[in-house]
């Protein structure tokens, strides 16, 4: 029996043990693992989740029991201090001596701390271990403002932690852009705008020269002479390999650190291997988990006599940074060969997507995605496979011509079997499909368990799920697109279950029909269903569908909020108009009439929101739900009341429609319009549902959107009277709410609906399923319980108390800054 000793029990050290035990018999190798920390290996990739309630047990990759069951001798809290390479013996700080035949160094890395004067002061932390997080959390209870040094992946994760603690976060980055190794300037700009909209202050091109304070830090002084006053500093400026043992006992190391290894991960001592962030392969230190896992597998194969050399690993990565999708893959910066970029950018939405095509336009080389990385899995696989692109590669971003979903998802089943889907575990498409076809995987959860795909960073899960469903469909089996591994139901099944069983909370649903603690996929999906069915005030729910629901307002640039009262149909009395003006003047709010015929007020502080709404509600206004996945506006022209072309009273009908469906929660936002004639001044055919007057009545259009993928609405019913039109809208909206996936607009839902518009017409108009009256009854029940959410907050002291900027003080945010523009104010440049 060969004796294998592993020094380091991080993610890569654990993965080595798992792969060795999976491939080799227990009799062939004995395994001993020394871990410096006091607990088994845990998921450092998801470390920030600890601040939002994820427990250490949930982050743990495998409990101590797993090591015992697999005959792995785990020694936690024990530091290796000496290696005798001649005798092949190592010693620990406790005096333990262990002999080895092969030694695997998986000591990982430590946080890089720049040599800045004052770095030793109290209040300065690094962001690396559970203990670091516990110390940050304890210290942060007495702080208001915290800085994070580093604007890369680790730094932005730390900024999320600061935000989750309720502190005012500042990110300080030496480079001129965020995530300089993954994003180009435009991608970084898009990410920056999204982060700033969440209240995170970004400081670029700042070199910290000194940390000031008398024992406790109080400010960072920069090279340009400016300074930033803070109560706490979290350093997350990079990593340095933990190569102390290798240096001390004569192994070859690189000039800038790292244990030099060959293609089989062997060090300068053939009996010692190095893997993960401590290993230097061809001058490269890999700071991602996927290359570390590949190195672990390389060593296992070499120990078993197989010669599979480690190759430079794909550095593609997909993350959700503070709720913002960010991904880069392949040749993201177009550096390897001549290329032509395709770029889609929406600065208003903080959306940036770039694809780098080969010079002949036939291959995808790489790309960058910010704001929407839903197609990452397919795009990354296309880049790896070198497959020929469709005739119009721009469709990969913008969707097929004629509207509908993007075609990046259409070719998942056409990719070659040897394309790597999960880089962390080196799982190919063929391996996944085989597990489904031979019956090993009966669910997406099974597929993860038996192949390990998706158990690393998780970025491949959309593609893994698609492959599972398309493989089942190719076998002629029924496909159930369940919400997630915690709730083994489709959205429609959950909707019916919640409705029939009258379940009123997420926790009750999970207790009765789910497992585990839930996740960020099922929580907002269930929140949407609960809101659509019961229409309880959103702040009384235990989960929310959208982060803006937390404060019943959209957070804007600079950390302020918008106030949007409902103005049904765009009609407003002079008295109400005066009140809006008075409120805007009193609180110094930027005022704008929007395209949806409402007056938006911008620049409100969080603590001002209840006071502002109290005055508006007293004047007869209600919440405009600009923050919710619900009905936003019903736009109208002046119709027959004033227009000489108007056929019917479109204003009155629009007001009736808006007042009927106000507060109706749905999978995505809803917009509507009523035009008084075919001249279409209200632009009804660009709405989720629109109504146009005819000489005989009204035409009803559905499924139009004006977002990033514009699509005209399609006519559902012609020349119907007002009562019939409302009945059809009730049925249409409730059928959409009942069957659409989370965050799916009506246009996308209609495109995906089997049978399309004809089937929808059969259901809504012809009542082919016999559910018309039930849909109407469900709508009536939902509308009957409507309450203005802001009125509930104003009249409820407990809810009102939530609207404070600091969790431990009543003072307003002192950092908000504005500049004048056309007799109003806007956020200062530094706050953008």
How many CA atoms lie less than 13 Å away from 433 in the CB half-sphere? 19
Say whether both 778 and 641 belong to one domain: yes
CB environment 692-726: b (16+ within 10 A), e (fewer)? bbeeebbbbbbbbbbeebebebbebbeebebeebb
The CB density around residue 270, as the number of other CB atoms within 10 Å, is 10
Say whether both 644 and 755 belong to one domain: yes
**Tokens representing 767?**
């009542």
750 phi and psi, to 5 degrees?
A: -65, -40
Nearest to 606 by CA among 627, 622, 592, 585: 627
Per-residue pLDDT tens for 269-304? 999 999 999 999 999 998 888 889 999 999 999 999
End-of-domain residue from the set 249, 284, 303: 303
Q: Are 466 and 431 in contact (CB under 8 A)?
A: no
Q: Is residue 424 marked as binding? A: no
188 found inside a domain: yes
Per-residue pLDDT tens for 199-240? 899 999 999 999 999 999 999 999 999 999 999 999 998 889
Q: What is the mean pLDDT of residues 717-731?
A: 96
Per-residue pLDDT tens for 232-269? 999 998 889 999 999 999 999 999 899 999 999 999 99
Say whether both 128 and 277 belong to one domain: no
pLDDT band at 407 (very low <50, low <70, confident <90, very high): very low
Strand 420-422 and strand 364-370: the pairing is: unpaired
**pLDDT number for residue 766:** 94
383 found inside a domain: no
Please provide the DSSP assignment of 52-115 as one string.
GT--HHHHBSS-HHHHHHTTEEEEET--EEEEETTTTEEEETT--EEE-SEEEE---EEE----
381 found inside a domain: no
Q: Which residues pair with 659 in a beta bridge?
A: none
Say whether both 509 and 647 belong to one domain: no
Say whether both 515 and 580 belong to one domain: no
Q: What is the mean pLDDT of residues 596-620?
A: 92
**Cα(258)–Cα(263) distance, integer angstroms:** 15
Residues 6 or more apart whose CB falls under 8 angstroms from that of 96 comprise 75, 78
- Has residue 81 got a pLDDT over 60? yes
137 found inside a domain: yes
**Tokens representing 699?**
């035409």
> For the sheet containing 631-636, what is the strand order?
631-636, 670-675, 689-694, 697-702, 714-720
385 vs 15, more confident? 15
Say whether both 135 and 224 belong to one domain: yes
- Has residue 309 got a pLDDT over 80? yes
Say whether both 103 and 128 belong to one domain: no
792 found inside a domain: no
**Cα(702)–Cα(740) distance, integer angstroms:** 14
115 found inside a domain: no
Average pLDDT score, the chain: 88
- Has residue 405 got a pLDDT over 50? no
Nearest to 174 by CA among 240, 109, 220, 129: 220
Per-residue pLDDT tens for 762-815? 999 999 999 999 999 999 999 999 999 999 999 999 888 888 876 566 777 777
pLDDT band at 560 (very low <50, low <70, confident <90, very high): confident
pLDDT band at 321 (very low <50, low <70, confident <90, very high): low
- Has residue 561 got a pLDDT over 90? no
Q: What is the mean pLDDT of residues 25-36?
A: 92
384 found inside a domain: no
Say whether both 635 and 735 belong to one domain: yes
- 475: helix, strand or coil: coil
Nearest to 152 by CA among 326, 360, 33, 311: 326
How many domains are contained in the chain?
Answer: 5
Task: Residue 152: give its domain's CATH number.
Answer: 3.50.50.60
Q: Are 46 and 20 in contact (CB under 8 A)?
A: no
- Has residue 329 got a pLDDT over 80? yes
End-of-domain residue from the set 194, 221, 237: 237
pLDDT band at 409 (very low <50, low <70, confident <90, very high): very low
**Cα(281)–Cα(287) distance, integer angstroms:** 12
Note the pTM of the prediction, 2 decimals: 0.61
Task: Residue 783: give its domain's CATH number.
Answer: 3.30.413.10
- Has residue 313 got a pLDDT over 70? no
Q: Which residues pair with 321 in a beta bridge?
A: 324
**pLDDT number for residue 277:** 94
Percent of the chain residues topping a pLDDT of 90? 52
Q: How far is CA 567 from CA 615, 658, 794, in A?
A: 16, 9, 20
- Tokens 């993960």: give the residue: 276
- Has residue 59 got a pLDDT over 80? yes
End-of-domain residue from the set 551, 580, 601: 551
Say whether both 635 and 616 belong to one domain: no
Q: Which residues pair with 631 in a beta bridge?
A: 670
Per-residue pLDDT tens for 419-430? 778 877 778 888
Q: What is the number of residues in the chain?
A: 832
Task: Residue 577: give its domain's CATH number.
Answer: 3.90.480.10
The CB density around residue 359, as the number of other CB atoms within 10 Å, is 11
**pLDDT number for residue 521:** 79
615 lies in which domain range? 561-622+802-832
Angle at alpha carbon of residue 801, lines to 559 and 814, rounded to 5°: 35
Say whether both 170 and 285 belong to one domain: no
Nearest to 489 by CA among 512, 471, 463, 520: 512
Nearest to 503 by CA among 513, 518, 488: 513
- 331-340, 358-367, 534-543: which range is least confident on average? 534-543
Say whether both 105 and 128 belong to one domain: no
Q: Is residue 681 marked as binding? A: yes
Q: What is the mean pLDDT of residues 450-465?
A: 78
354 found inside a domain: no
Say whether both 105 and 246 belong to one domain: yes
């Amino acid at each position: 029996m060969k004796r294998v000793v592993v020094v380091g029990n991080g993610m890569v050290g654990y993965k080595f043990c798992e792969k060795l035990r999976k491939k080799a018999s227990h009799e062939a190798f004995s395994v001993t693992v020394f871990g410096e920390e006091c607990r088994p290996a845990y998921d450092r990739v998801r470390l920030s989740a600890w601040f939002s309630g994820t427990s250490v047990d949930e982050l743990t990759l495998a409990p101590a029991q797993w090591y015992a069951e697999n005959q792995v001798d785990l020694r936690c809290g024990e530091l290796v201090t000496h290696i005798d390479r001649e005798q092949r013996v190592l010693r620990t700080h406790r005096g333990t001596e262990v002999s080895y035949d092969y030694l695997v160094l998986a000591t990982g890395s430590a946080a890089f701390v720049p040599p800045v004067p004052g770095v030793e002061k109290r209040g300065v932390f690094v962001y690396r271990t559970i203990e670091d997080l516990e110390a940050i959390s304890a210290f942060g209870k007495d702080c208001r403002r915290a800085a994070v040094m580093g604007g890369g992946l680790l730094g932005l994760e730390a900024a999320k932690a600061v935000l989750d603690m309720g502190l005012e976060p500042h990110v300080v980055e030496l480079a001129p852009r965020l995530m300089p190794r993954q994003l180009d300037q435009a991608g970084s700009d898009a990410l920056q705008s999204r982060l700033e909209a969440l209240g995170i202050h970004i400081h670029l091109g700042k070199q910290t020269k000194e940390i000031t304070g008398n024992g406790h830090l109080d400010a960072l002084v920069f090279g340009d002479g400016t300074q930033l006053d803070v109560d706490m500093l979290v350093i997350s400026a990079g990593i340095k390999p933990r190569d102390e043992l290798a240096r001390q006992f004569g192994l070859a190391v690189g000039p800038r650190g790292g244990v030099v290894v060959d293609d089989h991960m062997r060090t300068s001592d053939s009996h010692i291997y190095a893997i993960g962030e401590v290993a230097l392969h061809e001058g490269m230190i890999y700071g991602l988990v996927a290359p570390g896992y590949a190195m672990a597998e390389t060593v296992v194969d070499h120990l078993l006599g197989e010669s599979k050399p480690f190759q430079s690993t794909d550095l593609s990565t997909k993350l959700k940074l503070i709720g913002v999708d960010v991904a880069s893959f392949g040749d993201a910066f177009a550096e390897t060969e001549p290329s032509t970029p395709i770029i889609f950018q929406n600065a208003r939405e903080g959306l940036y997507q770039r694809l780098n095509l080969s010079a002949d336009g036939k291959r995808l080389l790489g790309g960058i995605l910010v704001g929407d990385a839903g197609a990452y899995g397919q795009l990354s696989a296309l880049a790896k496979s070198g497959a020929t692109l469709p005739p119009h590669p721009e469709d990969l971003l913008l969707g097929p011509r004629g509207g509908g979903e993007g075609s990046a998802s259409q070719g998942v089943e056409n990719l070659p079997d040897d394309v790597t889907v999960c880089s962390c575990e080196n799982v190919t498409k063929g391996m996944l499909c085989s597990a489904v076809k031979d019956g090993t995987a009966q669910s997406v959860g099974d597929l993860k368990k038996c192949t390990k795909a998706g158990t690393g960073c998780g970025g491949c899960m959309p593609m893994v799920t698609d492959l599972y469903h398309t493989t089942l469909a190719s076998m002629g089996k029924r496909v159930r697109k369940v919400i997630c591994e915690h709730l083994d139901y489709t959205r429609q099944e959950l909707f019916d279950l919640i409705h029939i069983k009258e379940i009123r909370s997420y926790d009750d649903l999970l207790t009765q029909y789910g497992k585990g603690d839930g996740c960020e996929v099922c929580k907002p999906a269930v929140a949407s269903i609960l809101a659509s069915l019961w229409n309880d005030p959103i702040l009384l729910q235990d989960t929310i569908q959208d982060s803006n629901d937390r404060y019943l307002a959209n957070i804007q640039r600079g950390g302020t909020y918008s106030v949007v009262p409902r103005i049904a149909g765009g009609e407003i009395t002079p008295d109400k108009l005066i009140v809006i003006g008075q409120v805007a003047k009193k609180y110094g709010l930027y005022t704008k009439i929007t395209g949806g015929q409402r007056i938006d007020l911008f620049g409100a502080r969080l603590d001002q929101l209840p006071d502002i709404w109290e005055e508006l509600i007293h004047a007869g206004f209600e919440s405009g739900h600009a923050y919710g996945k619900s009905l936003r506006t019903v736009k109208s022209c002046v119709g027959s009341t004033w227009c000489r072309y108007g056929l019917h009273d479109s204003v009155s009908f629009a007001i009736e429609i808006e007042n009927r469906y106000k507060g109706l929660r749905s999978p995505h936002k809803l917009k509507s319009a009523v035009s008084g004639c075919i001249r279409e001044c209200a632009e009804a055919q660009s709405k989720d549902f629109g109504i146009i007057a005819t000489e005989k009545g009204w035409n009803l259009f559905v499924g139009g959107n004006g977002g990033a993928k514009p699509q005209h609405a399609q006519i559902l019913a012609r020349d119907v009277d007002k009562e019939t039109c409302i009945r059809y809208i009730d049925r249409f909206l409730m059928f959409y709410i009942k069957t659409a996936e989370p965050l799916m607009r009506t246009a996308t839902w209609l495109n995906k609906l089997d049978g399309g518009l004809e089937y929808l017409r059969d259901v809504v108009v012809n009542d082919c399923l016999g559910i018309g009256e039930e849909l109407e009854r469900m709508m009536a029940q939902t509308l009957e319980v409507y309450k203005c959410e802001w009125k509930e907050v104003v009249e409820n002291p407990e809810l009102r108390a939530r609207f404070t900027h600091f969790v431990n003080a009543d003072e307003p945010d002192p950092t908000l800054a504005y500049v004048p523009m056309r007799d109003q104010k806007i956020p200062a440049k530094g706050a953008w």
